[in-house]
Structure 1
């Protein structure tokens, strides 16, 4: 302690290696933590070794005596006792997560199913849980149109959904999990129990039935992609008559729930008002028809699961904005929404999919961003199974782009491809054909959606990099970087990204743009959130492509520098206070912030991130800490 105090008094700056490799720690050098070989060791051809990282968490102390947890602090134990926890360790390692080995897009009709003992229902939940004891599992019903393709799937004995009244036992059953969330989705929490049950049933539903929608959009929708079904009537069948199996999907009988939260008229009024004023504009930022604001509340009148999903998200946003530790109301609404939607999953109706997407937004708002993929994958598989894409039209299209933006943010965080393969985002054509479809449809909102699509294509190209969005010094060239196919695809993507910027409609252009000595970033004012977010995504795409440009490629005309694009990203968010654009700006700001070295620039970014969290409730503190650590 004395040595540390003397170092601080002398102003000596100590290197911070955090969780770097052993070699960088020994030499007290900053490590980029790239695995299996960090950038520093790779550039110096040195051996890169990693120490094991073990963290003790009291809530997971399966082998600690309860008396030890409650012993008064500062009082040494009178005796020590060694307890054998081998059986508990084995139990945890044997826990099965049905999403780990699922990739619906890779399964063909003729593929053989896994043996029944590999994915039996008893491995999904521990045999001693109440959830397993209360039900006599039977085979899932199958649709007649799906009979020829379900021979292999039926052999796995997938279980049907239990009755809504029996689901009460779910909320109190222990669910083993590997998630590392830093908010309400903590191990052992009721929030995580509810999510785990919901996710498992989503995945089982996708695997137990073949798609019940056509992947190709209805021809009647193509003429007015965004305008179809703006006046959606939940009592009619016109919205979901692609094939006979979905004719009665909307006319679902919502069961009553005896444990539904009792909201006073004033409370429900406040939650709906917050939905219209704050939450719905976030989600509708690329949608001129404002389906989440105008259409979903109408559908929710006759579908209680959607009503409770909307109210749960609104309640959770208020809790986050007010930094409240009291999550009982949003938890109760979240649980009720899941209880009501589970028995309707097999219908795959638009109201059911809407509930799933709204609950995904709630989970993104409430969970650790580094666990986003676990919260998105179930809904991703459902959207793929029903064939919804970016040109489905009407409510379906709005639901897709809401999910797609979250999918892209998750890919930027995890340095991975999107959960919905990008080739399924449009009409299933190649890159050039898909881009042409965006350009033909026109409209500034569609232009903003194209920016999301191009980012997804870039993630698909760069996913082999362990830290594709990070600025960590020189990345050692790999075989993929010098591959001719990679170079050709990079060149095509750069051409489309550049063309996107040049072809921006008038609504996507800045109203005012200038620089001032009072601000470290340019002032760039836009008139709508689609322009703000779309342009930010464009600059993010340029940073990623320039960061990973093939060595032999010469770009003409000479592009703007990465620093220029990074300053544009920061300037857009600082100049525009629209909350809808802010919710999509966190990852671009983190990418851009890594290129800022001046203290005034760094201070402005940290102040902006703090402002976003305070005013919108969307978590930014974790990214601010990442930037502080990167800047040292």
Structure 2
């Protein structure tokens, strides 16, 4: 069998840290190597930094230790099947005036490199690479794995009541050295963040995990490899730029696609899929892009009434994530639409709104709040307490999605719809109440972007996360996504917002600070953006 070259991330070992913000991502230029646009430089000319964790300053000083094989070309990184999928773009001669169609094909999971393809050439006929040694003692490894079991591992179980990452499947997964390595690397990174320290050990553990993955045969990738790469996605999401998340996410997407795994599978695969999906949703949201896996392949049954009647509570709550993912995809497509396409997008917004409200109406009893109390005293948020982690997650995505659709300016009030449901401020307060009332770290690390969305509802600038690029500079960055759709104004919700929502703003900032303090999950960048949006000095 000829040698198959796997991924270009070998360049990472040869380039210094770029120091980008966790949200530094140009929505029109961060899809390398799969996507190029007219007028863009070729990827081989750009050679962007491929640092896996750009927030680790240790990396800037560790170049002397980085010595791997020579850089390989993009063409050599792909298997024959993957190379064919890229050449098909030219053969199919897509209409150049249909950017949505072009993007959907370019972003097909079949064009992504596999997750264990992170730097070296692998082949069944190649001699095996020497086994790397664990960079820490067994005692320290046990301590970090304990932190994983009780903290970071639970972050992947937000809608997994069976707790496969830390309970049901963890004994099976520990047979994989790469899984153990990724688990302790993530725990080490979280410990560093909580203690506000930078240890070289964390980077060494990460590199050790990568070295173990390089020894994986692509044709024999197991569920342990999928779980390992899922944990690496979480590792990156803690502080790295969105572009770095999508490197690992594309690898997971490729493995899921090649194995035909989706959110309807069972066991650890299902848990991995939904952990991947939540990260992909927020990466796409931040970068104004479509998700990596088409939403119509996420589950075998997406009927809300049927799942409400026959599915599990986890399945039902995952449907809220699915609807939100479609909202994010619509938002990405809205950037590419023309003014004569407005009716299509108005109809799409309406359909997604109806689907989201159907999810709200048909919630099983266990998905509804166990206790709800109206705000009292100086507390601006209601007490909204749930008995299950998945219920917290599902309702979080419902309220965040409702705010986005209401801010689109495409919805009309209906007589049968309660006023509160049509008010983004009500949804924002519910989001604040859910986060403050439920001390759930797995949900807290998922609530950074929802709380940011809630914060926009308290702004006097009536922002919309839907935008059109018609007649605008095509180099617009993510921060410009706060615009009115197609140039149409969104009517104000109330007057004198600055004074009226002062307590909500302060409470929201306090909750974001608490999340970062207790979990190590970086929230300060989004908090700073909210301060700027609100005019705080």
Compute the displacement of 1:312 (Å): 0.9
- CA gap of 1:552–1:601, structure 2 versus 1, over 3 A, is closer
- CA gap of 1:98–1:594, structure 2 versus 1, over 3 A, is closer
User: What per-residue deviation string (whole Å, max 9, x for no partner) do you get for residues 498-554 of structure 1?
Assistant: 111111122211122112022011111112221112111100111111112436785
Note the 1:272-311 alignment, pairs <5 A.
272-311=145-184
- CA gap of 1:200–1:541, structure 2 versus 1, over 3 A, is farther
Q: Does residue 1:330 correspond to 2:202, yes or no?
A: yes
Aligned to 1:390: 263
Question: Which among 34, 38, 42 is matched to residue 102 of structure 1?
Answer: 34
Q: Which moved more, 1:367-376 or 1:340-349?
A: 367-376
Question: Which among 273, 282, 294 is matched to residue 409 of structure 1?
Answer: 282
Q: Distance in 2 between matches of 1:183 and 1:369?
A: 12
In 2, are the aligned partners of 1:297 and 1:307 still within 8 Å (CA)? Answer: no
Q: TM-score, normalised by structure 1?
A: 0.59
- CA gap of 1:371–1:255, structure 2 versus 1, over 3 A, is closer
In 1, are the aligned partners of 2:153 and 2:165 still within 8 Å (CA)? Answer: yes
In 2, are the aligned partners of 1:536 and 1:569 still within 8 Å (CA)? Answer: yes
Aligned to 2:524: 621
- CA gap of 1:186–1:273, structure 2 versus 1, over 3 A, is closer
- CA gap of 1:455–1:611, structure 2 versus 1, over 3 A, is same
Note the 1:418-497 alignment, pairs <5 A.
418-427=291-300, 434-435=303-304, 438-439=307-308, 441-465=310-334, 479=339, 482-483=342-343, 485-497=344-356
- Larger relative contact order (CA 8 Å, sep ≥ 6): 2
Question: Which among 448, 451, 454 is matched to residue 586 of structure 1?
Answer: 448
Compute the displacement of 1:319 (Å): 1.0
User: What per-residue deviation string (whole Å, max 9, x for no partner) do you get for residues 413-440 of structure 1?
Assistant: 122221212122123x8xxx55466445
In 2, are the aligned partners of 1:569 and 1:592 still within 8 Å (CA)? Answer: yes
Q: Distance in 1 between matches of 2:53 and 2:237?
A: 11
What secondary structure sits across from 1:343 in the alignment? coil
Q: Please, which runs of 5 or more residues in structure 1 have no aligned partner?
A: 1-57, 61-96, 104-117, 127-174, 212-253, 469-476
Note the 1:195-214 alignment, pairs <5 A.
207-209=79-81
Q: Distance in 1 between matches of 2:523 and 2:510?
A: 11
Q: Distance in 2 between matches of 1:529 and 1:480?
A: 43
- CA gap of 1:540–1:579, structure 2 versus 1, over 3 A, is same
Q: Distance in 2 between matches of 1:182 and 1:336?
A: 17
Note the 1:341-380 alignment, pairs <5 A.
341-346=213-218, 347-369=220-242, 371-380=244-253
Q: Distance in 2 between matches of 1:528 and 1:203?
A: 47
- CA gap of 1:512–1:435, structure 2 versus 1, over 3 A, is closer
- CA gap of 1:516–1:98, structure 2 versus 1, over 3 A, is closer
Note the 1:31-70 alignment, pairs <5 A.
none
Q: Distance in 1 between matches of 2:30 and 2:399?
A: 38
Q: Distance in 2 between matches of 1:523 and 1:384?
A: 41
The structure having more radius of gyration, on CA atoms, is 1
In 1, are the aligned partners of 2:313 and 2:390 still within 8 Å (CA)? Answer: yes
Q: Does residue 1:513 correspond to 2:513, yes or no?
A: no
In 1, are the aligned partners of 2:321 and 2:397 still within 8 Å (CA)? Answer: yes
- CA gap of 1:379–1:186, structure 2 versus 1, over 3 A, is farther
What secondary structure sits across from 1:402 in the alignment? helix
What secondary structure sits across from 2:426 in the alignment? helix
Q: TM-score, normalised by structure 2?
A: 0.69
In 1, are the aligned partners of 2:155 and 2:441 still within 8 Å (CA)? Answer: yes
Number of aligned residue pairs: 415
- CA gap of 1:272–1:552, structure 2 versus 1, over 3 A, is closer
CA RMSD of aligned residues (A): 3.8
- CA gap of 1:270–1:351, structure 2 versus 1, over 3 A, is same
Aligned to 1:577: 439
Q: Distance in 2 between matches of 1:310 and 1:600?
A: 39
